[in-house]
A and B are shown apart, each in its own frame.
Chain A
Amino acid sequence: MICFASFPATSDASGSYGTTRHHPDVEDDVRMDLDEDDFEEGVQRLTVPGESITSSHAFMRGHGTYVDDEEVIASVAGTVERVNKLITVRAVRSRYNPEVGDLVVGRITEVQPRRWKVDANSRQDAVLMLSSVNLPGGVQRRKLESDELQMRTFFEEGDLLVAEVQAFFADGAMSLHTRSLRYGKLRNGQLVTVPPILIRRLKSHFVSLPCGVDLILGLNGYIWVSKHVKQSDQEGEEGFDAEAVYSNKNDEIDDATRAAIARVSNIIKVLASHFVPLTDAVLLEAYEWAVDQENSVKDLLADETGENLVASIGLGIRP
């Protein structure tokens, strides 16, 4: 029940450091010698920190780069992006960079006058104003002093919520809103965290898997895995049901659904550890493969199973 293993050896890996390995799709692009006019659309270039990108005479340095000896040099590992004469490097691993309209999953860290502070995996805590949540008793109701006094009945410290990025403050912190019936407090499931870059922008970030599991893919890398709730139930009878929206109580969840939630969570963890971008199609394929294999839920986390899983959906960086 307890098993010990050794740390992965670093010495035998050193042999392969001499040659750089790339994803097969980009191999040709990487081999291309990059001149000043090589920053074409659709060509992805990967950098390592300290790698020279281009001359500083022709281009301006942006985020993720610095200038040394008249050259623009990458300061992070990531992909090179260019807007006119501005060169930036988008880091592979970083905190979440919010954009207006993004769907995020966050956790309340603090309750302040007329606002909540929300941890959304960004550099600063996000802000959720009392005026940007749906209050009980009518969507268009004005907020009252009594609402300010009972803010903890809506959200309290530790609560998870799904929201949309509404705007930015002057200091770069994002302001969220939950003024939709699909947004609000989260129940009936568990949270999985992945690097934010792995979440692709999709048509809808509310994914429903046929195994009775709902997913909310927050663009900040927080993924909420929960029991499937029917669309009609979710929105309540008269459009808005404050009891249900701000409830802390879970519904009845049967064992099969719990197992499915655990399995989906493990699949997400495996895909994230292999650095596979997550989309609904990928997750669905991976789930079907996992069910076909008839493995137990915890076997999924074994290294070998994980590799087979990633190989089966034909993704990932092949060694």
Chain B
Amino acid sequence: MAAVLLSKSERAYIQSSLKATPPLRADGRGLLDFRTVLLETGVAPLANGSARLNIGKMAREGGGGTEIVAAAKLEVEDVESGDGVDGGRVACSVTCSPAAYPHLSSNALDELQHDLSVILQQTIGHPSLHPRNLTIIPRKKSWLLNLDAVVLADAGNVVDALFMAARAALWDAKVPRTRAVQYRAPEALKSAKNDVPGAMDVDEGTSGFDTRDMARTAADFELPDYWDEGETLDGREKWPVCVTLNLLTPRHFLDATPAEEASVPQRLHLMFSFVPSAPPTLQAMRLLGPEELDLKDLKESIAFGEQYAKELFTALETKLREEDNRRNIKARDRFALMR
């Protein structure tokens, strides 16, 4: 996305290597190989769900690789005052660290952040993916799900990494259990008022503690003290994954390095959602680059993309369940120690 300086001969070298038979990439990977992805969930203790992800870090090396931290945080919103929406809402934002893009001016960095935020917001915040358990009290209070991602380093393929990190953070997110609290007027007071209108002039009506006129519905909520942090977001299997097809007709390849990104004319981002017992759905699509793409080629690319996304999804799912297990075991051990 960010323009990396590359000389003409380097670009020609990368392109001709990719077009050779068999194709060869700078680090010897095949066209469809990803670099190793490192993933950890639950990295931010104050967030409701968080994840750290790195693509392409060399073992033992201190830095390197595309590094993303994503965190989901829930916030209470008042629906009546107009802040919130009944049923809750999802707000996504992406911040790029200037250290990840040292060659960009602050304006260019803002633009990049905005672009990434829009992609994330429009895909993750889509109504078809909206979790149903973001309501606290119907028509009164709801959760606002903030999903914030920070790009700490960019070594190519940021969008895929962003969606993987977002999915991991949302997978990890726990909605706190709430219990509705309602005010109930004592029966005696109620009958007294209905008794003889105007007979006695008691100033009950002016009391601030008098809640008789209030509707008998939940007015507020409390957080019960539970051993776990709450329940997972509804429909967490649905969160999409993204695959980026770098198109160098007639070939395409995955997980490009910055140099490779700079030397392909077109990129196609495909976001797929895989719900068990339903066909995969294409949630969003972005085509970047100056060239055109035939409808026929586009269809083909989408079919390929679906296949790759499925693999990516399965691998990510396995890793996320592994992470869940790891953290549950850790929590259980700590609990056992405390007892």
From residue B251, how far is it (CB to closest CB) to chain A in Å? 15
Given contacts A2-B312, A2-B315, A7-B52, contact A158 B58 (CB under 8 A): no
Please give me the residue from chain B that is nearest to A298 by CB atom: B28
Instruction: Give the residues from 228 to 285 in chain A that come closer than 8 angstroms, CB to CB, to chain B.
Output: 248-250, 253, 255, 258-259, 262-263, 265-266, 269, 272-274
Please give me the residue from chain A that is nearest to B323 by CB atom: A6
User: Cβ of A255 and Cβ of B37 under 8 Å apart?
Assistant: no
User: Cβ of B7 and Cβ of A158 under 8 Å apart?
Assistant: yes
Given contacts A2-B34, A7-B52, A258-B17, contact A186 B9 (CB under 8 A): yes
User: Cβ of A159 and Cβ of B27 under 8 Å apart?
Assistant: no
Instruction: Give the residues from 172 to 194 in chain A that come closer than 8 angstroms, CB to CB, to chain B.
Output: 185-191
Q: Mark A286-304, 1 if CB is under 8 A from B, else 0.
A: 0000000000111111010
Which listed segment binds A: B18-26, B74-82, B138-146, B183-191? B18-26
User: Contacts of B17 on A, CB cut-off 8 Å?
Assistant: 258
From residue A277, how far is it (CB to closest CB) to chain B in Å? 16
User: Contacts of A32 on B, CB cut-off 8 Å?
Assistant: none
Given contacts A186-B9, A250-B16, contact A3 B315 (CB under 8 A): yes
The answer for the CA separation of A248 and B37 in the assembled complex, in Å, is: 35
The answer for the CA separation of A300 and B24 in the assembled complex, in Å, is: 15
User: Cβ of B13 and Cβ of A262 under 8 Å apart?
Assistant: no
User: Cβ of B311 and Cβ of A2 under 8 Å apart?
Assistant: yes
Confirm or deny: A160 has a beta carbon within 8 angstroms of a beta carbon on chain B: yes
From residue B163, how far is it (CB to closest CB) to chain A in Å? 13
Q: Within the complex, which residue of B29, B52, B58 is in contact with A269, where a contact is CB–CB below 8 Å? A: B58
Confirm or deny: B291 has a beta carbon within 8 angstroms of a beta carbon on chain A: no
User: Cβ of B13 and Cβ of A250 under 8 Å apart?
Assistant: yes
The answer for the CA separation of A3 and B318 in the assembled complex, in Å, is: 10
Confirm or deny: A4 has a beta carbon within 8 angstroms of a beta carbon on chain B: yes
- Of the candidates B33, B59, B259, B315, the one having the most CB atoms from chain A within 10 angstroms of its own CB is B59
User: Contacts of A272 on B, CB cut-off 8 Å?
Assistant: 61
User: Cβ of B38 and Cβ of A5 under 8 Å apart?
Assistant: yes
The answer for the CA separation of A303 and B318 in the assembled complex, in Å, is: 22
Confirm or deny: B85 has a beta carbon within 8 angstroms of a beta carbon on chain A: no
User: Cβ of A4 and Cβ of B315 under 8 Å apart?
Assistant: yes
The answer for the CA separation of A298 and B28 in the assembled complex, in Å, is: 5
User: Contacts of B296 on A, CB cut-off 8 Å?
Assistant: none
The answer for the CA separation of A160 and B5 in the assembled complex, in Å, is: 10
Interface size on B, residues (CB 8 A): 43
Q: Within the complex, which residue of B9, B26, B34 is in contact with A265, where a contact is CB–CB below 8 Å? A: B26
Interface Cβ pair total, 8 Å cutoff:
124
User: Contacts of B14 on A, CB cut-off 8 Å?
Assistant: 190
Q: Mark B20-50, 1 if CB is under 8 A from A, else 0.
A: 1110111111101110111110000000000
User: Contacts of A107 on B, CB cut-off 8 Å?
Assistant: 5, 7
User: Cβ of A273 and Cβ of B315 under 8 Å apart?
Assistant: no
Confirm or deny: B8 has a beta carbon within 8 angstroms of a beta carbon on chain A: yes
From residue B14, how far is it (CB to closest CB) to chain A in Å? 8
User: Cβ of A190 and Cβ of B34 under 8 Å apart?
Assistant: no
User: Cβ of B5 and Cβ of A266 under 8 Å apart?
Assistant: no
User: Cβ of A3 and Cβ of B9 under 8 Å apart?
Assistant: no
The answer for the CA separation of A253 and B12 in the assembled complex, in Å, is: 11
User: Cβ of A301 and Cβ of B28 under 8 Å apart?
Assistant: yes
User: Cβ of A1 and Cβ of B8 under 8 Å apart?
Assistant: no
User: Cβ of A273 and Cβ of B13 under 8 Å apart?
Assistant: no
Given contacts A3-B34, A4-B318, contact A258 B7 (CB under 8 A): no
Confirm or deny: B6 has a beta carbon within 8 angstroms of a beta carbon on chain A: yes
User: Contacts of B10 on A, CB cut-off 8 Å?
Assistant: 158, 160, 190-191
What are 26 inter-chain pairs, A to B, with CB distance below 8 A?
A2-B34, A4-B36, A4-B39, A4-B315, A6-B40, A7-B38, A109-B5, A157-B5, A158-B10, A160-B10, A186-B9, A188-B9, A190-B10, A248-B12, A250-B9, A253-B16, A262-B27, A262-B28, A263-B28, A269-B27, A273-B59, A273-B60, A296-B28, A297-B28, A298-B27, A301-B58
B residues sitting closer than 8 Å to A (CB atoms) are: 5-10, 12-14, 16-17, 20-22, 24-30, 32-34, 36-40, 52, 54, 58-61, 254, 259, 311-312, 315-316, 318-319
Q: Which 8 pairs across A and B sit closest by C-beta, in order of nearness?
A: A297-B28, A298-B28, A4-B319, A303-B59, A2-B34, A248-B8, A158-B5, A187-B9
A residues sitting closer than 8 Å to B (CB atoms) are: 1-8, 107-109, 119, 157-160, 185-191, 248-250, 253, 255, 258-259, 262-263, 265-266, 269, 272-274, 296-301, 303, 306
What 6 new A-B contacts, CB under 8 Å, besides A5-B38, A272-B61, A299-B28?
A160-B7, A248-B9, A258-B24, A266-B28, A298-B28, A303-B59
